[in-house]
């Protein structure tokens, strides 16, 4: 399984547990960054996604004992790593 598939799997598994999509604003920003094909917009899209992901990560770190928060934190960490590797 490659990195993108791993991220998708973690996100998918976590989304099954959560009933509300409000915590997945970062997922939308992440997907938008991955799908952007225009080079001039790609950098902005990736920067925005990183900002959203880091913000959500900071929110969740206060609840690091919660198992659902731990799952989402893991998904965030993998997604951030993937964004850093984008060209």
What is the rounded average pLDDT for all residues in the chain?
Answer: 82
CA 26 from centre of chain: 5
Q: How many residues does the chain have?
A: 87
- Residue 45 reports pLDDT greater than 80: yes
pLDDT tens for each residue of 63-77: 878 888 888 888 889
d(CA 75, CA 62): 16
- Residue 20 reports pLDDT greater than 60: no
Which token pair is 70?
């731990």
């Amino acid at each position: 399984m490659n990195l993108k598939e791993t991220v998708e799997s973690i996100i998918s598994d976590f989304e099954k547990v959560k009933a509300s999509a409000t915590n997945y604003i970062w997922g939308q920003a992440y997907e938008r960054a991955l799908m952007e094909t225009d080079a001039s917009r790609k950098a902005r899209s990736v920067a925005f996604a990183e900002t959203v992901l880091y913000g959500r990560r900071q929110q969740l770190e206060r609840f690091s004992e919660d198992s659902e928060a731990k799952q989402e934190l893991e998904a965030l960490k993998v997604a951030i790593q993937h964004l850093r590797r984008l060209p």
